[in-house]
Amino acid sequence: MDLFIYDQTFEGLLTAIQDAFDLNIEPDKILSTKAFQDDLFAIKYYITTDPDKFEKLWEQIKDKSSEQNCQRIFKAFLSELPDIEIIIYNYIKLILETPYNVEVDFSNENLVKLNNIQKKVGREAQRVMMFVRFQKTIDEIFYASFDAKYNVIPLTVAHFRSRFADQKWVIFDTRRKFGYYYDLENVREITIGNQKVSLDSGKVDKDILHISEKLFQKLWKSYYDTINIKERKNLKVHMQFLPKRFWKFLPEKDFKNNLVMN
């Protein structure tokens, strides 16, 4: 069994795939360092991420298909699903070995599988952009947390930077324990060790909330209570539109974190 082990980055994965092509080896598995468990009977290839190899393969994929297809592959990678690396490897191999543009051949099993995965990732990114709630802190930073099913935070940064270009903000994925901070000029990746922010609920401690934020949350909860008519509730439809994993991050759910209880 041939195992290729990479550093969890997208650039590392494409380097591993390019190495497999260069070595003329069909990998049985491509695993991140996080997912890898030692196998005494496997031949292991530890991949060093190479920007040149990444760029070479990335350009080949674009030349043989399109920029949109490259984004499909990247979104599929962000799913973090088991064996997603082999799915991507098989799809890229198909692209390079097929004389026509395979991205329009929906009779192909590899394409259908990857396309379905990237669509789910795209929908999750849309949910995050729709449902996040920012909390304003006393130092004028707007903070928002979420618990995404997939690693979609890289897909949301451009949206938030454009939408809130005149505000300092932090978006944070509590499941993966990292996020991004925008300081009005640059966006950088961060982790949070501040005990004033709950990594479970995403809520900011009241003593560091801006006074206007406290008032807003109070008014918003009051408004939600007023329009939340028990007789008109449809829990099934509500959960389809707004998955329950987002509820704990919403101010209006603070006092009523389960619709069944109302």
Packing angle of the helix pair 109-131, 67-78 (nearest 10 deg): 70
pTM: 0.81
The reported pLDDT for the residue numbered 142 is 86
Say if strands 141-146 and 135-136 run parallel, antiparallel, or are unpaired: antiparallel
CA proximity to 112, closest of 92, 91, 89, 130? 91
pLDDT tens-digit series, residues 76-135: 999 999 999 999 999 999 999 999 888 888 888 889 999 999 999 999 999 999 888 888
**Residue listed under structure tokens 């191999």:** 93
* Contact predicate 211/220, CB 8 Å: no
214-246, pLDDT tens digit by residue? 443 444 344 334 434 454 454 454 455 566 676
Determine how many CB atoms are found less than 10 A away from the CB of residue 117.
21
Q: How many CA atoms lie within 13 A of 67 on its CB side?
A: 0
pLDDT tens profile 9-41: 999 999 999 999 999 999 999 999 999 988 888
- Residue 97 has a pLDDT of 94
Distance between CA atoms of residues 126 and 239, nearest Å:
15
**Strands 168-173, 178-182: pairing kind:** antiparallel
Residue 226: the pLDDT is 42
- The residue written with tokens 């499909």 in the block is 72
Average pLDDT of 38-67?
A: 94
Instruction: Provide the residue ranges of all domains of the chain, joining segments of one domain with +.
Output: 2-124, 132-261
- Asked if residues 110 and 94 have their Cβ atoms less than 8 Å apart, the reply is yes
| The two three-digit tokens of residue 106, written as one number | 């929906």
Residue 161 confidence (pLDDT) = 96
